[in-house]
Amino acid sequence: MATFKISVINGDGIGPEVVAEGRKALVAIGERCGHSFSFAEYLAGGCAIDATGVPLPDATIKGVKDSHALLFGAIGGPKWENVAHHLKPEAGLLKLRKELDAWANLRPAVVYDELCDASTIKPEVLKGTDIMVLRELTGGIYFGQPRGIEGSGPTRKGFNTEVYSEFEVERIVKMAFEIARGRRKKVCSVDKANVLESSQLWREVAIRIGKQFPDVALSHMYVDNAAMQLIRDPKQFDVIVTGNIFGDILSDEASQLTGSIGMLASASVGGPVGFFEPIHGSAPDIAGQKKANPLATIGTVALLLRYGLKLEAEAALVERAIKAVLKSGLRTGDIKQPGTTIVDTVAMGEAVAKQIRTIA
C-alpha cells in the first residue's frame, strides 16, 4: 500500500472548515483505491502571526518540503489587515509559493451542466465551458524589483516592477502547450504587448515556443480584450496562459462563469512539492457558520491527486463524485437554485465522500 505524506495548512476564516471536507475526500479515496494518506498540519497566515509573530514560520516551510503535496485552505482576514506589509498573511502565501518554486498555477474553470443556471450569465453562453487558466505564479509584478514607497508630500510614490525573463515565460508557455495537447489543442496567450515591454517579450517567447507545437493553435489577446471575451463567449477558450497579475484577475473572472468562486480549485506546481488550494479567500464574514462551499477544496483534492501524486484515475473519481452530488440536487448557499436542497459545508463534504466510496 502506498503511503502519501500530505501537509495541511488550514489557515484562517473558512479555511479549516473546507480543508476538513477535502481531507474526507482523500480518506475516501484511500479506502476505495488502497492508498494511505498521513496528514501533518502546519501554521500559515493570520493564525501563524497570532501564534508565532510571522505569517510563515520556518517549521511550516520545512514540514511542507518534507511532504508529497500540500493541501492549503485560505488565509487572511480583517484582524491582520493593519500589520506591517511584509508580515501580512498574504506575504506568507507569496513566500510559500516562492519557497516551493511553484511557478505554474493551474486554475481550471469548468461549468457543470447542473450549475449553468447558477451564474449571472446566460446559460446558453456558459454551457460546455471548460477553460484551463494557467497563471505564472512566482514572477511578474508580484515579485519584481525595485518596489516600495518613497519620498514625502505630493511626490511621495509607490512603485512596483513588472518583469519577466525569457526562461520564466518559456517554461510556463511550454506547459500551456503540453496541457493543450491533452485537451482541445488551443492556447491563448494573454498579455498587454501594445503597452508593456515585459509583455512584448512574453509574446515573442510564446511565438517561438509555439513553433515547437505545430499541432496546437496559438492565439494572442490583450488582457483587456480577454476580460471582455471571457464574458462574451467563454467557450472560445481552451488553455489561457498569462502572467501573474493578469492571471490573478482573469481567474477570478472565470470563476464567475462556473456559478461561484466557491467552485474553483487550483494547483501550483513546478517545484518538488505541489501546492494545492481553492482559489477563494478566507471569507471571514461566513467563517464558523458551516456555510462555505467545500467543493472548491474537494476539486483541489482532485488536482492534488492528478498533478501532485500522478493518480489520474483517483482524480477523475473525485470529479465524478462532485458531479454526482450536484446532479442529486444538493447545493451550498452560494450555488443555490430553485428546486435544489441547501446543505451545510459538512453535509456537502460527506455527500461527496460517500459518492467517492460508492459511485460506479
Q: Is residue 334 at the binding interface for Mg ion, with CB under 5 A as the rule? A: no
Classify 288 in phi/psi space as left (phi over 0), alpha (psi -120 to 50) or beta: left
The size of the interface with ligand IPM (CB under 6 A), counted in residues, is 4
- Using only the alpha carbons of the chain, give its radius of gyration: 20
- Is 224 an annotated catalytic residue? yes
Question: C-beta of 327: minimal distance to Mg ion in Å?
Answer: 29
- Is 12 an annotated catalytic residue? no
Instruction: Judge whether 63 and 7 are in contact, CB under 8 Å.
Output: yes
Of 277-316, binders to ligand IPM (CB under 6 A) are: 279
- Taking CB under 5 A as the rule, which mask of x and - marks residues 211-250 in contact with Mg ion? -------------------------------------x--
Of 79-108, binders to ligand IPM (CB under 6 A) are: 90, 93
Residues with Cβ < 8 Å from 172, sequence gap 6 or more? 103, 104, 134, 136, 241
Catalytic pick among 88, 248, 307, 334: 248
Nearer CB in complex with ligand IPM: 107/220: 107
- Is 127 an annotated catalytic residue? no
Question: Which of ligand IPM, Mg ion, none has residue 283 at its interface (CB below 5 to 8 Å by kind)?
Answer: none
- Cell readout for 138 is 512566482
DSSP state of 46: H
Question: C-beta of 208: minimal distance to Mg ion in Å?
Answer: 29
Residue 212 three-state SS: coil
Cis peptide bond N-terminal to 89, omega within 30? no
Catalytic pick among 24, 88, 174, 192: 192
Nearer CB in complex with ligand IPM: 97/331: 97
Nearer CB in complex with Mg ion: 99/248: 248
Give the dihedral sign, CA 245/246/249/250.
negative
- Is 252 an annotated catalytic residue? yes
For cell 516592477, name the residue. 161
DSSP 150-196: E--GGG-EEE------HHHHHHHHHHHHHHHHTTTSEEEEEE-TTT-
Instruction: Judge whether 188 and 219 are in contact, CB under 8 Å.
Output: yes
Question: C-beta of 216: minimal distance to ligand IPM in Å?
Answer: 26
Residue nearest to ligand IPM (CB): 90
- Taking CB under 6 A as the rule, which mask of x and - marks residues 233-272 in contact with ligand IPM? ---------------x------------------------
Catalytic pick among 101, 117, 130, 252: 252
Nearer CB in complex with ligand IPM: 30/294: 294
Q: Is residue 319 at the binding interface for ligand IPM, with CB under 6 A as the rule? A: no
Question: C-beta of 263: minimal distance to ligand IPM in Å?
Answer: 15
CA distances to 18, 200, 312 from 197, in Å: 41, 5, 39
Closest to 257 in 3D by CA, of 129, 95, 74:
129
Instruction: Judge whether 34 and 313 are in contact, CB under 8 Å.
Output: no
Q: 121 φ, ψ to 5°?
A: -95, 150
- Is 248 an annotated catalytic residue? yes
Q: Contact residues for ligand IPM (CB under 6 A)?
A: 90, 93, 248, 279
Residues with catalytic roles? 142, 192, 224, 248, 252
Q: Contact residues for Mg ion (CB under 5 A)?
A: 248
